[in-house]
Structure 1
Amino acid sequence: MGAVLQLLSMAGSVLGFVFLTLCIASGLYYISEIVEEHTEPTRRFLTRTIWVIEILLLLLLIFDKFPIKLTIFAMGSHMLYYQNLKKFPYISLTSITFLSSCIVVVMNHYLWFKHFNEVDIPPQFHYDPNYVPPRRATFSQVSSFFAICIWFMPFALFVSLSAGDYVLPTTVEQAKKTDEITELNSETTAKLRGRTIGLARVVIHNVRKYIYSVLALFGIQVQRDYDNLGI
């Protein structure tokens, strides 16, 4: 392979990765905006999805002989994800439930990845010529399992949950005038609250601000159209 062709291949790979990252970020931003406008339907959808995944894990345990301990752990982790929906779409990034969910996501990925890569022959069958190793799952089967039963709910929660609620400027001014914002009942407060800001949008917004600051160090000025996150 020529040197120029190799450099061209590397440049194409880098550009492909950059464009793929931008597409994913744009998709997350768009989905987060849709969720912000339809929080209650989203909560119902996520709740039903959790129960569907629980049923799928149970069926895998019964019919495909999945490991009992790992399956129970995965089912329990989805019950933990369900706890995040009790105050949906608001979330505290320092709450025990949220932090535990983050830890469980990593553990689920590691344990199931280790399970599907287990190729060791049990010691009692090392010298058994009649031993037939269990059929290994194909790449499409493993990737489908991870996408639906392991990654889907954490990803959906990340896109759907809000980093906090933002109050409209008119509400703030009215609260300052009346000085009775703390005495408003839940129904009135719900009416006065503005649109929530999705956690995914906050992350993307902060990353974009960091990129702007880095470009500014090199003297590159970029037009900032979304500094206020649409508030």
Structure 2
Amino acid sequence: MFLQLLSYVGVVIGFIFLVLSIASGLYYISELVEEHSEPTKRFLKRIIYGIIVTFGLLWLFDGFPLLLTIFSIFSYYIYLQNLHKFPYVDLISPTFLASCVLVLANHFLWFNHFHNPYIPPLDVRLSPNYQPPRIPSFVEVCSFFGLLVWFIPFALFVSLSAHDNLLPHHIDSEVAKDKKKNNGLAKVVVGNIREYIYAISRRLGYELDPNHGHII
């Protein structure tokens, strides 16, 4: 009984450390991209073109569904439009909003494709010349989602920057006037989440912010 309770505590602590590690990684990568925005833009363009070609090869050699393949290629065309003003982005622009919708649509459509594979009618399966379709392995499906569905949206999220007045910041107005540079979306999101955690901890009587009360 106690060992089972201890395992629950370990899972919760492990999950917290995992989330903190991911947040720290996003923050670091966003800082790195801000310093090398032009090479990052060229890298993302080449990756998008490569993924579009890969979708075509999957349709040609692996029998991937044509309509779903065309939809994914169209999605990457929309993702590519976000690079015109890279690394800046308007969070309420049609291109950015369409990209967010297409990310979710691509995920669920491809998940449905792999989760519910096409099964031919019984008379076709009983044919002596029938060859059952190849079912992708778990590693193949994970690689497909990681490289062709999630990688570019994740990279754009980390790379794109938002103006200071596009997302709420919990900083003094005078400091905001002095800092005119743009912040990466990942930095903004992580920073806002961190400030919310600090605010909740203060209400509970704990101070987690090491810089609280210090004049920067």
Matched, 1:15 2:13: yes
2:168 matched residue in structure 1: none
Calculate the TM-score normalised by the size of structure 2.
Answer: 0.86
In structure 1, C-alpha distance between the alignment counterparts of 2:83 and 2:154, rounded to whole Å: 14
Runs of 4+ with deviation above 4 angstroms: 129-132
Q: In structure 2, what is the equivalent of residue 67 of structure 1? A: 65
Deviation at 1:132, TM superposition (A): 4.5
> 2:140 is matched with which residue?
141
Give 1:47's aligned residue.
45
What SS does the corresponding residue of 1:20 show, helix, strand or coil? Answer: helix
Counting matched residue pairs gives 203
Q: Distance in 2 between matches of 1:127 and 1:60?
A: 24
**Tell me, which stretches of 5 or more residues in structure 2 are unaligned?**
166-173
Question: Secondary structure at 1:41's aligned position in 2?
Answer: helix
Please tell me whether the aligned partners of residues 90 and 161 of structure 1 are also in contact (alpha carbons under 8 angstroms): yes
What amino acid does structure 1 have at the position aligned with 2:6? L
Match in the other structure for 1:84: 82
- Residue 193 of structure 2 corresponds to residue 207 of structure 1: yes
The answer to whether the 8 Å contact 1:32/1:200 transfers is yes
What fraction of aligned residue pairs are identical, expressed as a percent? 52
CA displacement at 1:16 relative to structure 2: 1.1
Q: Deviations over 1:72-112 (max 9, x none)?
A: 11111001000000011111111100000000000000000
> In the alignment, which residue of structure 2 is the partner of 1:221?
207
Distance change >3 Å, CA 221–CA 119, structure 1 → 2: same
Q: Quick one: distance in 2 between partners of 1:61 and 1:21?
A: 36
| Native 8 Å contact 1:36 1:196 kept in 2 | no
Q: Tell me by how many angstroms 1:17 deviates.
A: 0.8
Q: Deviations over 1:199-225 (max 9, x none)?
A: 000000000010011101111112344
Shift of the 127–37 alpha-carbon distance from structure 1 to 2, 3 Å rule, reads: closer
Native 8 Å contact 2:198 2:209 kept in 1:
no
How much does 1:120 deviate?
A: 5.4
Structure showing greater Rg: 1
The DSSP-based 3-state class of the residue aligned with 2:83 is: helix
Are the equivalent residues in 1 in contact too, given 2:29–2:158 (CA < 8 A)?
A: yes
2:158 equivalent in structure 1? 159
Q: Which of 80, 93, 98 is the equivalent residue of 1:95? A: 93
Q: Distance in 2 between matches of 1:92 and 1:128?
A: 56
Structure-2 separation of matches of 1:38 and 1:195: 15
Equivalent-residue separation in structure 2 for 1:127 and 1:27 (angstroms): 49
User: Do the aligned partners of residues 113 and 220 (structure 1) sit closer, same or farther apart at CA in structure 2, a change above 3 Å counting?
Assistant: same
TM-score normalized with structure 1 length: 0.81
SS in 1 for 2:90: coil
Q: Which residue pairs with 1:32 in the alignment?
A: 30
Q: 1:50 Cα deviation (Å)?
A: 0.5
